[in-house]
Structure 1
Amino acid sequence: MPFQFDPEYFEIFEPLIPLLSNRPKLTVHEIPASRKGREAGLTAFLEKLPDSPDVEQATYHVEAADGYCILVHGFTKKGARSGPGPAILHYHGGGMTIGTAQLYAKPLARLVSETSIPIFSVNYRLAPEYTGTTLVEDCYAALVWLNQNAEKHNVDPARIAVFGESAGGGLAAGVTLIARDRNLQPPLAKQILVYPMLDDRNMTANEAVEPFAFFKTADNITSWTAVLGDKAGKSDGVSAYTAPARAKSLAGLPPAYIDVGELDIFRNEDIAYATRLLAEDISTELHLYPGLPHAFDLIAPNISATKRAYENRLKAMLNF
């Protein structure tokens, strides 16, 4: 039987189809000039979420390996907890080419409000202005900062998880590889990967999925090319820290939570990554949502499937 959209999702998505069908296909060189407009489109979805008045926000400055100043936005529930507890380090989505931590303030504050776990979201540098491992190294620098300043933020350094959606999920996976290889102590407690972007070699459209895809194969190729240049999709010359699906071994990584829609072009690479983690006997929770494409939760935040996904993510955040 051919694929079809989740009926609730399609009711929300159908009016957007003409607008999305007319989206221009960007080249890498057009990304910087188009960034503000594309971020405004993302904001239109994220701003629909309610405010969380019980959550405080703060901004921190973290020095990258090359001296660059990375901004980290902290979200903490009002009222100090009695002792050190878990924390989550977040990396935003946007194809590694758009987005900021502050754009995701509403959904992140909501998570903090409901879990009471502080979240620190990283403004890593974006492609194509910055390329290769620069982005994931920014993300790792923020992890080292949180690890070394855990006491100051009332955080148990043995209970730090990384979390990201889409490109941010891929960066979170890359950070776990770096943390393992550089013997970060205490080791990371968990990786929470929401429809993660893991494999630059995903360059051939799946004809059964592509008509339903929100983030299409052409978008994926442009994003990976922005990060990797002409190495994107080639057999060598790409760091697994940037494209985690290329890692030779996933042994020694922290427990994982992964979710993805059935109609997401990342579906197969995400399932394959989860399968490899399980083959290494790493505890892995995998959710596949039928009839849903990439970023379904942003397009349709109030449908039944999104509510299920949100509850599953909350449970993952509360269980490490």
Structure 2
Amino acid sequence: MSQYVHLSNPDPEWAAVSAHIPIAKPIVSIEAYREEIMAARARRKANTVPEQSATEGLKVIEKTIQVENGEIRVRAYIPDAQDHETDGFPLILWTFGGGESISGFVLGSIDDEDVLLRNLSVNSRIVCATGDYRKAPEHPFPAAVNDTCATLKWALNNSSDFSINISKGFIVGGVSAGGNLAAVLAQRGLKDPDLKGKITGQLLVMPTVVSPHAYPEKFKSELLSFDKDENNKMLPKGHCEKFLEAYHGSNNAPNLEVSPLLAESFEGLPPAYIQVCGVDLLRDEAFLYERLLREAGVSTKLDVYPGLPHGFHIIFKDFKATKKQREDFVKGLDWLLHRSD
């Protein structure tokens, strides 16, 4: 039994809502799933008051850049400098995880994170860069990793134009699949000559860090949450398996850039702030990743949301825990930027 199983006892707000959510149907095909999700998003949007987003006090730059065998949209959010900010801002590369569908690697776009990044840029005084990495199965691994890395280098190569000063901080972050890509980039940063010694922090929100097909034997007794609830209503096991299959195909050979938890060593990685949900197939791997980082001498900070499902803060914006998650997010970023203890 997982040592964290007690965290799956439902939060009262989640219990009240989940009782009315049907168990998700199996995914027949990624294409059909996309159509279904986009239709559901349109219905939600028509019946939801839009969140307020910063429209003043920042500049937004969008470009199309060339990547291997294609092109992607990239975007930078740059706060207007005040008198005391003439020496530039820290940078965060933020990677989306699938939007409201919680289906990273196969769905989602930079538009899903527009409100978050506008507000984060203005309120936290930071340049936010993001890229529309190409999706599986049309563009399987390593397209998403390489596209995200290309976005990161685009921001760095334009640092003077974007008022970026990485001596103030250079963070890689993301949610769910985006958290996976951020963790992979943090590890790439130890070897890539363009990134070596530059990344100062990683912000991982409910990340996936190891494929269930690649669990190390010595940790299998700790990695139980993926099989705990096959009918998880926010991220069902069957759906997660479909997303991963689309991403890396039927090749289940362990790969460090699919499963960053498999690294031989974590020494030298930048500090990590990690958020974990209690009712989440990915729960145990996130806890294990934080522990392995900490044991390797990496500074870590962890916030846990007992009784809440994967991505709850994206769908259930009125939950009390969502307010806490957002406050914790800002505090975690401040911690990575050495703005707080």
TM-score class, shorter: 0.7 to 0.9
1:1-320 map, 5 Å: 3-15=8-20, 17-18=21-22, 21=23, 23-27=24-28, 30-42=29-41, 44=44, 48-54=50-56, 55-64=58-67, 66-79=68-81, 81-94=85-98, 95-158=104-167, 159-183=169-193, 184-201=195-212, 206=226, 208-231=228-251, 234=252, 236=253, 238-319=254-335, 320=337
Q: How many residues align?
A: 309
Is the alpha carbon distance of 1:218 and 1:34 closer, same or farther for their aligned partners in structure 2, counting shifts above 3 Å?
closer
**For residues 118-148 of structure 1, what are the alpha-carbon distances to aligned partners after superposition, in whole Å with 9 as ceiling and x for unaligned?**
2111100110001121210111111122222
Is the alpha carbon distance of 1:41 and 1:89 closer, same or farther for their aligned partners in structure 2, counting shifts above 3 Å?
farther
The letter of the residue matching 1:137 is: N
- Alpha-carbon RMSD across the aligned residues, in angstroms, is 2.4
Is the alpha carbon distance of 1:140 and 1:190 closer, same or farther for their aligned partners in structure 2, counting shifts above 3 Å?
same
Mapped partners of 1:63, 1:76: distance in 2: 22
Mapped partners of 2:76, 2:66: distance in 1: 16
Structure 2 unaligned regions, length at least 5:
99-103, 215-223
Structure 1 unaligned regions, length at least 5:
none
Q: Is the 8 A contact 2:65 2:71 kept in 1?
A: yes
The residue matched to 2:279 in structure 1 has which SS?
coil
Mapped partners of 2:89, 2:267: distance in 1: 26
Normalised by the length of structure 2, the TM-score is 0.83
Is the alpha carbon distance of 1:106 and 1:40 closer, same or farther for their aligned partners in structure 2, counting shifts above 3 Å?
farther
Tell me how far 1:10 sits from its aligned partner. Answer: 2.9
Mapped partners of 1:40, 1:88: distance in 2: 31
Q: Is the 8 A contact 2:273 2:300 kept in 1?
A: yes
The residue matched to 1:71 in structure 2 has which SS?
strand
Tell me how far 1:217 sits from its aligned partner. Answer: 1.1
Q: Which has the larger displacement, 153-162 or 46-55?
A: 46-55
Is the alpha carbon distance of 1:312 and 1:110 closer, same or farther for their aligned partners in structure 2, counting shifts above 3 Å?
same
Mapped partners of 2:262, 2:49: distance in 1: 35
Q: Which has the larger displacement, 81-90 or 105-114?
A: 105-114
Normalised by the length of structure 1, the TM-score is 0.88
Q: Is the 8 A contact 1:12 1:299 kept in 2?
A: no
The residue matched to 2:72 in structure 1 has which SS?
strand
Is the alpha carbon distance of 1:202 and 1:6 closer, same or farther for their aligned partners in structure 2, counting shifts above 3 Å?
farther
Is the alpha carbon distance of 1:225 and 1:180 closer, same or farther for their aligned partners in structure 2, counting shifts above 3 Å?
same
Mapped partners of 1:47, 1:170: distance in 2: 31
Tell me how far 1:9 sits from its aligned partner. Answer: 2.8
Mapped partners of 2:95, 2:248: distance in 1: 19
Q: Is the 8 A contact 2:305 2:321 kept in 1?
A: yes
Tell me which residue corresponds to 2:221.
none
Identity within the alignment, %: 26
Q: Is the 8 A contact 2:91 2:127 kept in 1?
A: yes
Is the alpha carbon distance of 1:9 and 1:50 closer, same or farther for their aligned partners in structure 2, counting shifts above 3 Å?
farther
